[in-house]
Amino acid sequence: MSSVQPVRLPIAPSAPVRRFTWSWDWLGVAPFFAFAIAFLFIPAASIFIRSFQDSSGSPTLQNIFDLTQPFILSAFAVSIRLSLFTALLGCLIGGLMAYAITLGNLPRVVRSSLSSFSGVAANFAGVPLAFAFIATLGRLGMVTDWLKWIGLDLYQSGFNIYTFWGLSFTYLYFQIPLAVLMLLPAFDGLKREWREAAENLGGSTWDYWRYVGLPILAPSILGTLILMFGNAFGAQATAFALTGGQINLVSILIGAQISGDALQNPGLGNALALGMVVVMALSIAVYGWLQQRVSRWLQ
């Protein structure tokens, strides 16, 4: 009788046990985490905690209730309107400039000059920017006097640099260059072969931008809008130096509540800052929702 040999199944090798090994590569990102913790997370936590404290440090909800006061709600409305208007108009003009720089037929000298100027102007804000506009377009500004000399009085015609529209015009000085810098890489990513392929398939210029160009640029445009909205929403020095606090903005109210003499209320100032954080969080949430909608175009 023949004996039946037992079948031996192969034994799967055991998975190697992973052991934690320290990597010195973490030292490269340590300064970033230290900076984020010191100047982002700790201040944010401090704002949140102090928003629910009174002047003596006792817990209270009065600061949050005070945010419903009419002048505070008006400040949020004006700040959002100013930020949204300058973000939309700045993104539109900056997008056209980025298109001209990357895909247009401008001379190389003009393209390099516009790029360099955008890098400088995007960081030119605060008191120097306000002084520059006052010296240029103020009631006694240089351009205002020149226009008077030729018979055109800006302020008699209704223009006023110290109003909401004047402040919006001033904000565009750094909003437009910021949009140019943000959208230049996006326009650089558009290949000429895509447009040629669309034309060979019988598509018009409008068809190319509707079905190819804009869907590809949409995430970058939305991200630029959110960044510009936050850039204008948090600006304080330019508005205060230009208008002297005559325009009711949230950032100016925060300064008045924290460092003011007559209206000093640090708890309310922290609550206002918390409200700004909430507005920015909502705008980022809207950006995420819009980006999901845009991603369907790319599928």
228 Cβ contact partners less than 8 Å away, ≥ 6 residues apart: 83, 86, 87, 90, 91, 175, 178, 179
Q: Is the pLDDT of residue 291 over 80?
A: no
Q: How far apart are CA 227 and CA 11, in angstroms?
A: 57
Please say if the pLDDT value at position 261 is more than 60. Answer: no
In the chain, count H helices and then E strands.
Answer: 14, 0
pLDDT surpassing 90 at residue 83: yes
Assess whether pLDDT exceeds 70 at residue 71.
yes
- pTM value is 0.82
**For 1-10, 110-119, 182-191, which range has the lowest pLDDT when averaged over its residues?**
1-10
**Scanning the structure block, which residue is given the tokens 């008045």?**
256
pLDDT over threshold 90, residue 123 = no
Output the average pLDDT for the chain: 84
**Mean pLDDT lowest for which of 42-46, 103-107, 154-158?**
103-107
Closest to 164 in 3D by CA, of 47, 78, 92, 102: 78
Domains and CATH numbers, the chain: 70-295 (1.10.3720.10)
CA–CA distance, 85 with 168 (Å, rounded to integer): 8
Rg over CA atoms, the chain: 28
Mean pLDDT value across residues 91-100: 91
Predicted confidence (pLDDT) per residue in 18-36, tens digit:
666 667 777 888 888 898 8
| Percentage of residues of the chain with pLDDT beyond 70 | 89
Which residue has 């230049």 as its token pair?
184
